[in-house]
Amino acid sequence: MSFFDDADEPLTEQRTARRRGRASSGGRRPPSGPRRSGGDQQAFVIRRAIALTGIVIVVILIVLGVHSCEVSQRNSSLKDYSNSVGTLIAKSNQTGKTLFNQLSGASGASNATNLQTQVNQTLQDTRSQLNQAKQLSVPNEMRVGQQDLLLALQMRRDGVSSIATQIQQALSKAASADAAKTIAAEMARLYSSDVVYTDYTAPAVVSALHGAGIYGQPIASGQFVQNIQWLTPTFVAAKFGAALPATSSGKAAPGIHGHAMQSCSVNGTALVVGGTNTLPANPPPTFTCTFTNDGQNNETNVVVKVQVGGTSISGQSITPQTVPGHQYTAQVQLSSAPPAGSYTVTATVEKVPGETVSTHNTQTFPVTFH
C-alpha cells in the first residue's frame, strides 16, 4: 500500500459515517415544536368547551335581555294607552255634566241664543275629544277596545250635534213638543254611548292588561248621561218649559187619585212655611221638592211647579211615574234669577186625572231674594 492510499482511508471512513447518519434519520427533518402529550390535548378540549359554554351563556343573556326590554316596552305602551283613555273619557264625562247643566236651565225663550251658543261650544268639545282618541298610539292588544272607544265618542258627538239643531225649536212654543221628542231620542243615543264604553271598551282594556300580567291599573268609568229621565220626552219638555199632552186616554181608573206636597229646600236648607226664608237670586235657584202619592193609583207624568209670585219666573219638573204610598223628589230650577226683593213662592204638585181633592198639593213660602 502506498503513502497516498494510507492518507485517504480516514477520509473515506468519515464520509461513510456521515452517510450512515443520514440513512438512520430516514431522510426526515425533526419536528419544529414539542409534541402534545395526552394531558395537554385534554386541557385544550376543556378550554374550548368552556369557551363555547361562555358564548352560549352570553347569547342567552342577550336574548333574555332583549325579551325583557320588549316586555317592559309593551307593558309601558299598554299602561300609557290605558291612562290616555282614562284622561280622555274623564274629559268627555265632564262635557256631559256641562251639557246637562246647560239644558237644565233651558226653560224660557229668552235663553235661546245664549243656550245655543253654550251647546255649540259643548259640541266642539265632543268633536275635539273624538279627534284626540283617533290620534292615540294604540298597542295591538288594544285594537278592539280602541274601536269601541271611538264608537262611544262618536255617538256622543253625534248626539250633541243633533240636540244642538233642536235648541231653537225646543224653546219655541209652536214646535217644542216635537223638538222635545227628538232631543229625548238623542238622549237615548248618549246613554247608549255609556253602555258601549262601560260594557265593551273598559272590559277590552282590562282584558288586554290582564293578558300582559298587569293588574291594579285604574280604569275610568264612563257616565255621560247624568239622569236617565232625560230619555223621556215629558221630562225634556218640562226642562224647556213645554208640556206634552198626556199619553193616556179615557176615564181615570176607579179609586182615589192625587199627591201631597211634603217639603221644599234649596241647597240643603229647608224652606219654612210661614217663616223667613232668604235665598240668593243668582244663579237661578233649584228647589228640591218632596211629595207623596197619597192616592190608590199609579200616576204618570206628574208635574211639580214652582212659581215666584208677582213675576213670570217659574220652573217645573216631571216625574214619569208614581206609585201609591211612595215618596218622590223633584228638582225644579227657576227659569231665571228673580229680582232682589220679597216674594211668595208657591210649590205645587199639579192635579192628575181623577183627582178631586187638591188642598194638600201646594205649599207657599215667604222668600227674600238677594
pLDDT tens digits, residue range 21-40?
A: 554 555 555 555 555 556 67
Angle between helices 202-211 and 143-170 (to 10 degrees): 160
The model's pLDDT over 321-343, given as tens digits with 9 standing for 90+, comes to: 899 999 999 988 888 899 999 99
Give the percent of the chain with pLDDT over 90.
50
| pLDDT reported for residue 164 | 92
> pLDDT digits over 53-109, tens only?
878 787 777 766 665 666 667 788 899 999 999 999 999 999 999 999 888 877 654
CA angle (189 as vertex; 186, 194 as ends), nearest 5: 135
> Quick one: which of 185, 147, 192 has its CA closest to 165?
185
Which is it for the CA torsion 80, 82, 88, 94, positive or negative? negative
Q: Per the omega criterion (within 30 degrees of 0), is the bond before 283 cis? A: yes
In this prediction, residue 217 carries a pLDDT of: 87
Domain ranges of the chain: 66-239, 259-369
CB 93 within 8 A of CB 222: yes
Using left for φ > 0, alpha for ψ between -120 and 50, and beta otherwise, residue 27 falls in: left
Q: Is the pTM of this model over 0.85?
A: no
Whether the pLDDT of residue 274 is over 80: the answer is yes
Q: What is the pLDDT of residues 257-271, one digit of tens each?
A: 999 999 999 999 999
Average pLDDT rounded to a whole number, residues 340-366: 94
What average pLDDT does range 130-154 have in this prediction? Answer: 94
CATH topology of domain 259-369: Immunoglobulin-like (2.60.40)
114 or 12: which leads in pLDDT: 114
Tell me the pLDDT band of 2, cut-offs 50, 70 and 90: very low
The residue among 129, 155, 151, 145 whose CA lies nearest residue 200 is: 145
Confidence of residue 147 (pLDDT cuts 50, 70, 90): very high
Which amino acid belongs to residue 22? R
Three-class SS of residue 72?
Answer: helix
Task: Determine the pLDDT at residue 9.
Answer: 52
Task: Indicate if the pLDDT at residue 301 is higher than 80.
Answer: yes
